[in-house]
Amino acid sequence: MPQAGRFTHENGGPQGGIEHAPGPARLRHRHLLAIEDLSRAEAEALIGRARFFFPYVEGRVKKGDMLRGRTLINLFFENSTRTQSSFELAGKRMGADVVNMSVNPSSVAQGETLMDTAATLNAMAPDLLVVRHGSSGAAHLLARKVDCSVINAGDGTHEHPTQALLDALTIREALGRVEGLTVAICGDVLHSRVARSNVALLTLLGARVRLVAPPTLLPAGVRHWGADVFTDMKTGLVGADVVMMLRIQLERMQGGFVPSQREYFWHYGLDAEKLALTGRPSLVMHPGPMNRGVEIDSAVADDRAVSLIEKQVRMGVALRMAVLEALAAHGSNEGPAP
Amino acid sequence: MTRAMTRLLIAGARVLDPATRADRVADVAVEGGLIAKIGPSLKAGAETTVIDGAGLALIPGLIDMRVSVGEPGAEHRETLKSAGRAAAAGGVTTMVVMPDTNPVIDDVSLVDFIKRRGAERAGVHVLPAAAMTKKLDGLMMTEMGLLTEAGAVLFSNGHAPVVDSRVLRRALSYASAFGALVAHRPEDPHLAKGGVMHEGELGARLGLPGIPAAAERIFAERDAALAELTGGRLLLDMISAAATLGPIRRAKAAGVALHASVSVHHLTLNELEVTDYRTFAKLSPPLRSEDDRRALVAALADGAIDVIVSGHDPRPPEEKRLPFDEAAFGASALETLLPAALSLHHNGEADLMDVLAALTCRPAALLKLPHGRIAEGAPADLVLVDLDAPFQFAADTMKSKCRNTPYDGRLMQGRVQRTLVSGVTVFDAAA
């Protein structure tokens, strides 16, 4: 059984062997909107660089100054305590000024459009803009309008690239590699931005990806995604090194996509019995927040021997620090030309 | 109107008449708003204005069977006047305007309003389409007989499909008493619900909910069966999917009075236009796959599709500069209809006469109009067009109030030089 999520610092961190430490990742693009913006080398550089920030996450190094004088705006049109605080902590630990803006969907209803919000924010000349929005493509729209780097923290059912990066980091820390592993992503693939980003990234990094879901929760054309598709979880899990569960929203389970909660859990929920079907010491992940007893049984979620769920959260801050650092290297925002 | 006295001679143009497939260089004399004579080396009289057509093609004015205008109720989108200017610039001399305005055109007085305002302000012929059901509710048939007498040229439910098959059956059946044309956009609203683009791999990657082609096919099959059952004249309006062609071909082969239209966008663009979440390519029905597009082009050649429409649907920036799923459907299209359709000819995908017929004489036949052809005695609705010279289409030159076009910046061929309606110049590119 591999040690799940153990932080190691042989090559990284301020106290580590500096000569082998990977430097800040360099990215060709100014924004991080989707995994397809990244080459394999860039994705690996971000994941590799995240280690450098582990001491910050663990509190052994209190605060850096890589982003001193830079402004990071967290613009969240959907509630997300964990992603928002993860970016906030990442920014603050690097010395950035962090502004959190939670936009109540009702003010959108009052007529202020996303473009209006973008224009307002742009006038404040931030350097980094982290955005979460309920509509696919919202981050793309903002990126066309503002002068700073935009990081997509989840847009509709499209992508959530930093989640996929932190998941890959978590897997690599736990199992030493991503390439060649079999990762089964299970649940509501149709509505999941986490699934889309993870399929793109894990495939890019050389993992074998499986998607396991009832047919009603699989998107059209999913068979062209480069993943193996299963509608039977029992066969889909066989041989999986990692089982990644997706959150299913409860309203999907009132006869719309699946008949009932109990039927869903019976066929697609992860419990110890189903996990044993992998036939190997598999690890379990979940992007959170979890619906316990719906897609995942508490006994599995809380089993520290197999569950990486808590580790994912900690990795998230380090990974996001690496992303912020890389994008900030594209220069500070001098504001709109006079 | 004083225009009746105007005498014109259009000299030396390549005269293309898709109704007869005649293609020859000739002079065309216009008198009293009608084409008086066609022939070589016609003599200009004393009070005749001569228009030099050398090097240009002369085609019948386009008849666009599906134009949305914001008048009444949404004049910020488009008025009959601004739509008329856009139409004239695009070579469209007759436009059938949709009834899904506010209020809905479901009453004789409103048909009269559209006719009157159109005649006063548009500069081109405006023919009202009336609602098939009251307030487009899909439940209560409108007064089709009275509306026909008032001047409604067809009955449409706009973008709202008639879900209740019994209502559509009765509308088709009742309309047949007047020989009226019923236009219906086939789309099962339950299958299409929430969808914003073609359902397929691309939409799934973009995280955008899809509208499956089956949503269109299912209603097309049903509508064809109802047309057969009732004997009514049915136009399947703005089809988008290859799968819809099956029921159309079968019904036509069986002698059912079924016709089909397609928007020029669906003949010339595919779903890839929405990559990067470009909302100007968000259309209803959605742009579909390249296979669908090719099938539609082939159907134009073999006659399964009768007419090409613009589907003109002007939308201001506040309805388009939004996240994709929140943005409005539709494109401003009167000014790109002709050059976009001609791209099929220039690309070698379709025969020039087939393209022109679908824009002129075939819609005229469906609407039972004398327009849409270049023949002695026909109305002098004519367009002089430079068929070949390439130009870059620029949205900021558009006359429509809204410039939501997916063709901005495209290289196109087929620029309109002059448009005449009843012998009167309503657009002159040189002016």
The predicted-structure confidence for B306-355, as pLDDT tens digits, reads as follows: 999 999 999 999 999 999 999 999 999 999 999 999 999 999 999 999 99
The helices-and-strands tally (H runs, E runs) of chain A is: 13, 9
Residue A16 confidence (pLDDT) above 60: no
| CB count in 10 Å sphere of residue A129 | 28
Q: Which of these, B179, B250, B255, lies nearest to B217 by C-alpha position?
A: B250
Q: Which residues contact B407 (CB under 8 A, 6 or more apart)?
A: B336, B340, B393, B395
Res A336 pLDDT > 70: no
Determine the pLDDT at residue A118.
Answer: 85
A141 closest CB neighbour out of B206, B208, B277: B277
Edge-first strand listing for the sheet containing A242-245? A228-230, A208-212, A182-186, A242-245, A283-285
Residues B322, A136: C-beta atoms closer than 8 Å: no
Residue A15: is its pLDDT beyond 50? no
What pLDDT, in 10s, does the model give residues A223-280?
A: 999 999 999 999 999 999 999 999 998 877 766 899 888 999 999 999 999 999 999 9
DSSP code, position A178:
-
**B203 Cβ under 8 Å from any chain A Cβ:** yes
Q: pLDDT, tens digit, for every residue of B98-149?
A: 999 999 999 999 999 999 999 999 999 999 999 999 999 999 999 999 999 9
Task: Provide, rounded to the nearest whole percent, the portion of chain A with pLDDT above 90.
Answer: 75
- Which of the 8 DSSP states describes residue A245? E
Local structure of B310: helix, strand or coil: coil
Sign of CA dihedral B210, B212, B218, B219: positive
* Total count of residues recorded for chain A: 338
Dihedral sign, Cα of residue A61, residue A67, residue A69, residue A75:
negative
Give residue B182's pLDDT: 98
Nearest CA in chain A to B321: A115
Is A238 buried (19+), middle (13-18) or exposed (0-12) by CB count in 10 A? middle
Going by pLDDT thresholds of 50, 70 and 90, the confidence category of residue B396 is very high
Work out whether the CA dihedral A163, A168, A171, A172 comes out positive or negative. negative
Mean pLDDT across B7-32: 96
Nearest to A49 by CA among A328, A245, A256: A328
Q: Return phi, psi of residue B413, to 5°.
A: -130, 145
Q: How far apart are CA B222 and CA B235, in angstroms?
A: 13
Query: What local confidence, expressed as pLDDT, does residue A253 receive?
Result: 72
Q: What pLDDT digit, counting tens, does each position of A112-121 carry?
A: 778 888 888 8
pLDDT on residue A3: 45
- Tokens standing for A21? 């430490």
Please check whether residue B60 is in contact with residue B381, taking contact to mean a CB–CB distance below 8 angstroms.
yes
Q: What is the mean pLDDT of chain B?
A: 96
Q: Quick one: pLDDT band at residue B47, thresholds 50, 70, 90? A: confident
Q: Are strands B233-236 and B181-184 parallel, antiparallel or unpaired?
A: parallel
Cα distances from B360 to residues B61, B125, B424, in angstroms, run 7, 14, 18
pLDDT tens track for B148-185: 999 999 999 999 999 999 999 999 999 999 999 999 99
Q: What is the pTM of this model?
A: 0.91
Cis peptide leading into residue A289 (ω within 30°): yes
Across the interface, do A136 and B277 touch by the CB < 8 Å criterion? yes
Residue of A137, A193, A196 with shortest CB distance to B277: A137
Q: Which of residues 312-351 of B touch A (CB under 8 A)?
A: 318, 321-326
